[in-house]
Structure 1
């Protein structure tokens, strides 16, 4: 059974990594020209697919690492550094720019009915950062009850993502350019601190400190 502190850290890490407010304007862009019903269907489908992906990594991520001969300590260090890179991009407004390029490229290459899978579910929602964070958190919750709690946390985060997508127009107007920039930077600082903690925990685990 995971502690309250573990659950709060898991929720914060996943929510910041997935970044629902940042997804809202991108969702508007990739679903341009769709009806309200079509947007709703895409939002639900992409959220469910992303939930499935993160759940698989929550349950089997550690086993996959073990099969590859990668220790959890090493993955915590690597994952922490990766999350720190994402935090750096968020603070200096690089991540949104990269996401927008990913979305623009996908519109021209993929049929409109498949955008729920790519680029929304992968890599915009369940991207490398979210997957790494899920595996890292899963490693701190080895028991079955802990895994179940983590899946519940993932479900709550993805429910918030779904809400952000369904309310994308309103959210985009309410935050505005300044609001989105401020929120993204604030979340970036929080993620940077969490990522450093992952690295510290990884070093302790790797060297038996």
Structure 2
């Protein structure tokens, strides 16, 4: 029980479901309700799959490729910078809303559920690192492993429900507020990207 509660708190803080709602609303502008539900379900399912994979094979993969978590932080931060840029200048929203081709929309919905929703917004460097650390601490037995994974699944399942209701929040807030929030979140996301890159760099070169 202690392992589950501890892991649940960690994943709630690292994944931050309430904080992802306005970002999800901003990223999915121009899609209909069905595609938004598809993005939410596919993105959360993929993120859980990534977490489960790293729970059991993360250290093996990183050791085999000689890749440290610092590299994940730096690359993830760079990718978030691009998303923040699109959010600040409404390029993503304009591109989504001007999309008329059904096949292209389906393809873009699929791509969006993978990046940036599943990775790195949900299963980002923080979630992956937390998974590795929690499995190292509690994963010596089956019960501990299941506690960590069940905690991750609980948080992500709750996030999926919240994201599927995000469109209702958008209707309540209105376009003007959403556009304002989008730009503010673009700045916040840029700051998050900078912090992610800085944490990766300082992990390689600790400050004197």
TM-score (norm 2): 0.62
Report the CA distance shift for 1:43/1:136 in structure 2 as closer, same or farther (over 3 A): closer
Q: Which residue of 2 aligns with 1:85?
A: 78
Report the CA distance shift for 1:46/1:3 in structure 2 as closer, same or farther (over 3 A): closer
Q: How does 1:147-158 map to 2 (within 5 A)?
A: 148-149=147-148, 152-153=151-152, 155-157=154-156
Report the CA distance shift for 1:102/1:67 in structure 2 as closer, same or farther (over 3 A): farther
Q: Which residue of 2 aligns with 1:136?
A: 129
Query: What displacement does 1:178 show?
Result: 0.9
Report the CA distance shift for 1:203/1:183 in structure 2 as closer, same or farther (over 3 A): same
2:119 equivalent to 1:127: yes
Root mean square deviation, CA, Å? 4.3
Q: Which residue of 2 aligns with 1:31?
A: 32
* Ranges in structure 2 where 5+ consecutive residues have no aligned partner: none
Q: How many residue pairs end up in the alignment? A: 191
Query: What displacement does 1:163 show?
Result: 0.8
Q: Which residue of 2 aligns with 1:193?
A: 195
TM-score (norm 1): 0.61
Report the CA distance shift for 1:154/1:80 in structure 2 as closer, same or farther (over 3 A): farther
Report the CA distance shift for 1:136/1:180 in structure 2 as closer, same or farther (over 3 A): same
For residues 66-116 of structure 1, the C-alpha deviation after alignment (integer angstroms, 9 at most, x for no partner) is: 233x15xxx2221221233245446xx4143676589688x654685x877
Conserved in 2, the CA contact under 8 Å of 1:23 and 1:124? no
Q: Which residue of 2 aligns with 1:21?
A: 22
Report the CA distance shift for 1:203/1:193 in structure 2 as closer, same or farther (over 3 A): same
